[in-house]
Amino acid sequence: MTFLFDIGRVLLDFDFETSISRLLPAGISDASLRLSRLLERKDEFETGSIPKNAYISWALGVLGSTATPSEFEHAWRHIFTPNEPMWDRVRGLAAAGHRLILFSNINSIHWPWLVKNYPEFALFHAAVASFETGFIKPHPEIYQYAIATHGLDPKDTLYIDDLPQNIATGRKLGFRCWQYDLKDHPAFEDWLAANLKSEI
């Protein structure tokens, strides 16, 4: 069986604001506004339509930060915490011989660093990373890209993501979907067990 796994809030939790806020000038009154503005060009960055250096320069300007680009990259990357129950499950699925594919809206700062610093990503057989495809979830093009590139049969592919809009597109295209909740991993395990049992 093939599995499509989102990364954020499925395999890794993240805390964007705590890390990036360290780059803000001291004593500013609009910290939350400046941090939220970084999301204005998130989709551009995650589809690869804005180069990394251009995004960093723009983001530092939005923050009003005197940080260097390297300091920004460090803060941008150090936002993640592994979701250990899910990694335990991934290890089990890999050992059982299932095909595992990462399916993530992700950017060119995070992706190479994650692969290097979380060696267990090597358990995955392939990855569909938005910044490399030019498409982004929940738009159907990235799902169609995954289907064509990896020869997926949606009805035989289990797709796990935390965002309802992404799951909605997956369902429209025929994937067997689960909207994951970090606070309720046992519900995922129940769903998974039922789906694996149906294949026996």
Could you tell me the residue ranges of all domains in the chain? 2-13+81-198, 15-77
pLDDT tens for residues 154-199? 999 999 999 999 999 999 999 999 999 999 999 999 999 999 987 7
Mean pLDDT (whole number) for 96-124: 97
CATH 3.40.50.1000 fits 2-13+81-198, yes or no: yes
* Tokens matching residue 127: 């990855």
CB 161 within 8 Å of CB 180: yes
* Tokens matching residue 178: 């689960």
Distance CA 52, CA 192 (A): 37
**pLDDT in the model for residue 98:** 97
Distance CA 25, CA 28 (A): 6
pLDDT tens for residues 20-66? 999 999 989 999 999 999 989 999 999 999 999 999 999 999 999 99
CA nearest to 157, candidates 132, 142, 129, 178: 178
Half-sphere exposure of 173 (CA within 13 A, CB side): 27
Distance CA 127, CA 100 (A): 9
Distance CA 60, CA 24 (A): 9
Distance CA 50, CA 159 (A): 28
Distance CA 144, CA 124 (A): 20
**pLDDT in the model for residue 200:** 56
Give the containing element (helix H, strand E) for 108: none
Helices H / strands E in the chain, number of each: 11, 7
Total-model pTM: 0.95
**pLDDT in the model for residue 126:** 98
CA nearest to 106, candidates 50, 147, 45, 53: 45
Distance CA 22, CA 41 (A): 20
pLDDT tens for residues 112-146? 999 999 999 999 999 999 999 999 999 999 999 99
Secondary structure (3-state) at 45: helix
